[in-house]
Structure 1
Amino acid sequence: MSNVLIVNARIVNEGTTTHGDVLVVDGRIRKIGGSIPAQVGIPVFDAQGKMLLPGMIDDQVHFREPGLTHKGDLASESSAAVAGGITSVMDMPNNVPAITTRALLAKKYADAAGRVHTNYGFYFGGANDNLEEIAALQKDEACALKVFMGASTGNMLVDDPKTLDGIFARCKIMVVTHCEDTPTIQRNEAKAREKFGDAVPWSEHPHIRSAEACYTSTELATNLAKKHNARLHVLHLTTARELSFFDPGPIAGKRITVEACIHHLFMDESDYATRGSLIKCNPAIKTAADRAALVRAVMEDRIDVIATDHAPHTLEEKGREYFKAPSGLPLVQHALQMGLELVRRKEMDLHTLVRKTSHAVAELFQVIDRGYIREGYWADLTLVDDTQTTLVRNEDVLYKVGWTPLDGMVLPGRIAATWVNGELAWDGVKVGPPKGERLRFA
């Protein structure tokens, strides 16, 4: 089943668009050509001129397993991901228990085997008390080390300056950071309580999780990385001001890189009026000027990759008042189409979108043999019908929580098919059996 000849495709890859065929044998791309003859015993899939893209690699998801599986699990959320054209994900360590020991990391990989529809890599979590475990991490054991430098939950908030310095000095793999300054947020929360009591309006969220809180923490992270010549990747940037910490240009040679999430490129603070708690996330969606600056930074290669930060919560949880409603939103099923909407608006071009969601992610994390449509690479492919549109509805999502913050929106394109390791994982109607493999990192 991992053999297929895809014919009549519009192949969008590495900055060019060509019409041709792709032959997949044993899960890998055997040949790319203008007209490949039919092969004995290999089924033919007629793309009928639709766009064939390298599958999106999402470097930041929270699939909630282990411990929070009432919100989602590796099987449910990865099924939504392949329906959205995502073929590989990297899952965060803020589980229950948090993945802060190498034994727990190994168990998470073991529990995932045979159950995930996408390919998958897992982060290791930093804490105030696991520096020796961090120092022992080896390449390919985790996709990177995740450090919450502010306002996380449980024991994963690393706020000890000595520990932070030790992490950047001793970690052998890339450090990725959530950057928000907790003392700044706490001061802003106190001001909001004084003004509104418990009935804080959702529009206050970007003022509580403020640009100052982000800037202060990002400045600390980048300074530590420079001090120790550490490899740093800053997650989900949200403000124009923080862009000054990052250089434009190709990933090759950069020691400090940065990600934008699709919702921060797609929405601004005006959306709180209609979406409310459904778009409450950390760091917060901020101003229209910040959104515009982030999109420009993507186009000038100052922002290196685009991800989702997919983080489902139940509607009951989201229905609580401001201080009790959790932050996070589910996005993997429509993230690629949100990017296509930016292309439709002419804020971004298609080749940049493909580069930031596939090529650049593979390069940044040194993912082996994925992220491109190349001979010899794994056949992780997404077929998009760009003549169609999609009405997003809660009843159509595959998330365990059963809702999307995009309900009622019309997005360009339709995900017609997704292949993972050459296997048809999504045929436009239903999800196939899980065929995802563990990602490998050079």
Structure 2
Amino acid sequence: MSRLLLLNTRLVNEGRITDADVFIENGFIAQIGSDFSGRAADQVIDANGQYLLPGVIDDQVHFREPGLTHKATIRSESGAAVAGGVTSFMEMPNTVPNALTQVLLADKYEIAARTSFANYSFFMGASNDNLQEVLKTNTRDVCGIKVFMGSSTGNMLVDNERVLEELFRQSPMLIATHCEDEATVRANAERYRQEYGDSATARIHPLIRNEEACLKSSAMAVELAKRHNTRLHILHISTADELNLFRNDIPLSEKRITAEVCVHHLWFDSTDYERLGNLIKCNPAIKGPEHKPQLLAALLDDRLDIIATDHAPHTWDEKHQSYWQAPSGLPLVQHPLLMMMEFVRQGKLSIETLVRKMSHAPADCFQVERRGYIREGCWADLVLVDPNAPTDVTKESLFYQCGWSPLEGQRFSSSVTHTIVSGELVFKEGKLQVERAGQRLVFTR
């Protein structure tokens, strides 16, 4: 691997902003200091005062491969990820076929090893009848077990209470859950189907997948985890109603139950369905505007630990079907850092907090080895951000295979200028620089 030298950065790491040069060698951060301008290197980047951040670790994406490659591939979506400063991802098992066996899980890792621009890990999927396969999962090189406690894209619902009990009792590693109570969702869906029929629009989505459905399921997951001392991570919290389930009186390193918020639940609210319709239809649903400030407050006071995307692309034609037929999910992995940089500019959070919630906390929560921090000896997963160079979201600027974004027309105040993955300069000034650079994530468990 090459030697890379970064000069004149404003390095943001572990709650501090410092002026620093960074020397990268053989994939790792070899030295952090000052006045490295005379040092020999294969590539030199003068950051000219740009922010240098640890790369974003996105613990929840859907890259659709194998089986749904008309929507996306690991190559296309990891390219979008690094274009947005996301250097590592953890991908969900509801592909086709579902990743419910160790062989099928290994197939996804093989694809990523050949094609991924970003570092990668894949969740092992749980179902009502694959407990023994789940228990074979290697804790060292698989990020976790995914349990759908509410149905979503891919029909991987685990609703057998005996199976859930055994999963939580026997799991050797972190369980990540999608929490929506299925009975509540189905009853609501039937009610609104009868009321609106084929004229239904996306504005009823948060009424079907409502606060009650989220709270009931999340509370059940927390109760199971407490009973069995399971390491539980609840994905994409979308309601203020759920926030009292989570603690902020102990450090993240001591938590057995953690939770995250996704960028779209902080950015959009139910008033946006009028403008965007099915384009922002997702599970759990984007809720009323009263939830956004409370989700942000919980993020800031550490009840919510991580910011993620739940990136989930579908084709333009699929999303323009009727409400009942349109699939849930939206493409987001190219812009989470710029979205949160807008929050920094607006004074809603500090850039140090952004780094903690998007890089440090995912690394700590999943115990990712030597990533998520800018430290000597860590892998060089880094992103340079120019806070004064605007980014316009247009169809032409998108790296997604699906070719659209609910953020089109948005002007962000900042831009990602360079992304470094495992010591390789992968993205520079709007263009991918190499064919692949991602490494398989490993975990210190």
Alignment TM-score > 0.5, same fold? yes
Which residue of structure 1 aligns with residue 441 of structure 2? 439
Deviation at 1:155, TM superposition (A): 5.0
Query: 1:247-274 CA distances to partner (integer Å, 9 max, x unpaired)?
Result: 0142111000001001101111111111
Query: CA–CA distance in 1 between the matches of 2:83 and 2:2?
Result: 18
More displaced 10-residue stretch of structure 1: 215-224 or 424-433: 424-433
Query: CA–CA distance in 1 between the matches of 2:40 and 2:62?
Result: 42
Which residue of structure 1 aligns with residue 289 of structure 2? 288
Which residue of structure 2 aligns with residue 250 of structure 1? 251
Residue identity opposite 2:67 in structure 1: G
Which residue of structure 2 aligns with residue 131 of structure 1? 131
Residue identity opposite 1:350 in structure 2: I
Which residue of structure 2 aligns with residue 62 of structure 1? 62
Mapped pair 1:277 → 2:287: no
Query: CA–CA distance in 2 between the matches of 1:211 and 1:38?
Result: 58
- Paired-residue identity, %: 50
Query: CA–CA distance in 2 between the matches of 1:181 and 1:193?
Result: 18
Query: CA–CA distance in 2 between the matches of 1:397 and 1:327?
Result: 20
TM alignment of 1:106-255, pairs within 5 A: 106-154=106-154, 156-248=156-248, 249-255=250-256
Query: CA–CA distance in 2 between the matches of 1:391 and 1:42?
Result: 32
Which residue of structure 1 aligns with residue 53 of structure 2? 53
More displaced 10-residue stretch of structure 1: 340-349 or 174-183: 340-349
Deviation at 1:113, TM superposition (A): 1.1
Which residue of structure 2 aligns with residue 268 of structure 1? 269
Deviation at 1:196, TM superposition (A): 0.8
Contact 1:260 1:306 in 2 (8 A): yes
C-alpha spacing 1:37/1:153, structure 2 compared with 1 (3 Å): closer
Query: 1:184-228 CA distances to partner (integer Å, 9 max, x unpaired)?
Result: 011111111121112212111111110000011001100100111
Deviation at 1:342, TM superposition (A): 1.4
Deviation at 1:388, TM superposition (A): 1.3
Query: 1:73-127 CA distances to partner (integer Å, 9 max, x unpaired)?
Result: 0000000000001100001010101001111111211222131000000100000
Contact 1:266 1:342 in 2 (8 A): no
Which residue of structure 2 aligns with residue 371 of structure 1? 372
Residue identity opposite 2:437 in structure 1: K
Deviation at 1:137, TM superposition (A): 2.0
Query: CA–CA distance in 1 between the matches of 2:322 and 2:405?
Result: 19
Query: CA–CA distance in 2 between the matches of 1:179 and 1:380?
Result: 31
C-alpha spacing 1:127/1:201, structure 2 compared with 1 (3 Å): same
Structure 2 segments unaligned to the other structure (5+ residues): none
Contact 1:38 1:44 in 2 (8 A): no
Helix, strand or coil: the match of 1:166? Answer: helix
Query: CA–CA distance in 2 between the matches of 1:40 and 1:215?
Result: 56
Find runs of 4+ consecutive structure 1 residues off by over 4 angstroms. none
Residue identity opposite 2:101 in structure 1: T
Mapped pair 1:383 → 2:384: yes
Structure 1 segments unaligned to the other structure (5+ residues): none
Query: CA–CA distance in 2 between the matches of 1:149 and 1:40?
Result: 54
Query: CA–CA distance in 1 between the matches of 2:402 and 2:153?
Result: 21
Deviation at 1:429, TM superposition (A): 2.0
Contact 2:152 2:283 in 1 (8 A): no
TM-score normalised per structure 2 = 0.98
More displaced 10-residue stretch of structure 1: 154-163 or 397-406: 154-163
Residue identity opposite 1:209 in structure 2: R
Deviation at 1:440, TM superposition (A): 0.5
Which residue of structure 2 aligns with residue 72 of structure 1? 72
More displaced 10-residue stretch of structure 1: 338-347 or 143-152: 338-347
Which residue of structure 2 aligns with residue 304 of structure 1? 305
Deviation at 1:37, TM superposition (A): 4.4
Query: CA–CA distance in 1 between the matches of 2:353 and 2:295?
Result: 14
Residue identity opposite 2:304 in structure 1: I
Residue identity opposite 1:400 in structure 2: Q
Query: CA–CA distance in 2 between the matches of 1:155 and 1:384?
Result: 39
Mapped pair 1:44 → 2:44: yes
C-alpha spacing 1:384/1:181, structure 2 compared with 1 (3 Å): same
Helix, strand or coil: the match of 1:252? Answer: helix
Deviation at 1:52, TM superposition (A): 0.5
Deviation at 1:140, TM superposition (A): 1.9
Query: CA–CA distance in 2 between the matches of 1:210 and 1:38?
Result: 59
More displaced 10-residue stretch of structure 1: 103-112 or 419-428: 103-112
Deviation at 1:129, TM superposition (A): 0.5
Helix, strand or coil: the match of 1:387? Answer: coil
Deviation at 1:35, TM superposition (A): 1.6
TM alignment of 1:361-440, pairs within 5 A: 361-432=362-433, 433-440=435-442
Query: CA–CA distance in 2 between the matches of 1:40 and 1:8?
Result: 16
Q: What do you get for the CA RMSD once the two structures are aligned?
A: 1.1
TM-score normalised per structure 1 = 0.98
What is the aligned length? 442
Deviation at 1:154, TM superposition (A): 4.6
Helix, strand or coil: the match of 1:65? Answer: coil
Which residue of structure 2 aligns with residue 349 of structure 1? 350
Contact 1:8 1:47 in 2 (8 A): yes
Query: 1:144-168 CA distances to partner (integer Å, 9 max, x unpaired)?
Result: 0000001235551100000000100
Residue identity opposite 1:382 in structure 2: V
Helix, strand or coil: the match of 1:437? Answer: coil
Residue identity opposite 2:440 in structure 1: R
Query: CA–CA distance in 2 between the matches of 1:41 and 1:53?
Result: 21
Contact 1:118 1:437 in 2 (8 A): yes
Helix, strand or coil: the match of 2:254? Answer: coil
Helix, strand or coil: the match of 1:347? Answer: coil
Query: CA–CA distance in 1 between the matches of 2:368 and 2:189?
Result: 40
